[in-house]
Amino acid sequence: MRILVVEDDRDLSRQLGAALTEANYAVDFAYDGEEGHYLGEGETYDAIILDLGLPTIDGVTVLKRWRDAGLNMPVLILTARDGWSEKVAGFDAGADDYVTKPFRVEEVLARLRALIRRAAGHASAELDCNGVRLDTRNGRVSVDGAPVKLTAHEFKVLSYLMHHRDEVVSRTELTEHIYEQDFDKDSNTIEVFVGRLRKKIRSDLIETVRGLGYRLVDTSKSGPGR
């Protein structure tokens, strides 16, 4: 999962970035509204953390521009504790949730997980498919109750496929969602990660859809033609 943090307080950005990276997110940063708007419109993100009090362009305006452009990624806004009017303006502009400053990073992570789950149509913090369980709260994966150790990139690939279960996901889409902006992206490595996942979890769980990409198959719902 790939996250954009738009926050002009660099110390706070570093704090959020460290926590997000530890939680196996790919993280990009913008430090003013203009840069944030540019990245949010030009790159692909699973969610965005957006401060409203930004230089160059304020956060509400940035958010309005994204929504006017038809971008529907979940947006978590950061507001001052007494900024109730900012919260209202943020929601009216298209925000999905908010956190007031100062905040605990754990709350930001929890709200972010919930936004990403809901955007993908999942209610539970634990994603399960054919005995493979991914706990989004602590980044743990198990198969039939037995813990499985994955690398950071293997986890990111599995997490994205689990969130988009039964959907065909291209290698390009996976590449866009597991790497940061400045990473030297190579979609060919996705095949390597998928191969490793098949060995570590279930060999039949990830289906190759020739010429299109991959699909995490829920065999419990399989029927004719699947």
Q: Where are the domains of the chain?
A: 2-119, 126-221
What is the mean pLDDT of the segment spanning 92-101?
94
**pLDDT tens digit sequence for 20-48:** 999 999 999 999 999 999 999 999 999 99
**pLDDT tens digit sequence for 150-198:** 999 999 999 999 999 889 999 989 998 988 876 666 667 889 999 999 9
Three-state SS at 65: helix
pTM of the entire structure? 0.84
Q: Hey, which CATH number is domain 2-119, 2.40.128.110, 3.40.50.2300, 3.40.50.800, 3.90.1580.10? A: 3.40.50.2300
User: For the CA atoms of the chain, what is the radius of gyration?
Assistant: 18
pLDDT higher at 3 or 121: 3
Terminal-to-terminal C-alpha distance of the chain: 27
Architecture in CATH for domain 126-221: Orthogonal Bundle (1.10)
CB neighbours of 76 closer than 8 A, spacing ≥ 6?
47, 48, 49, 50, 95, 96, 97, 98, 99, 108, 111, 112, 115
**pLDDT tens digit sequence for 130-150:** 889 999 998 899 999 999 999
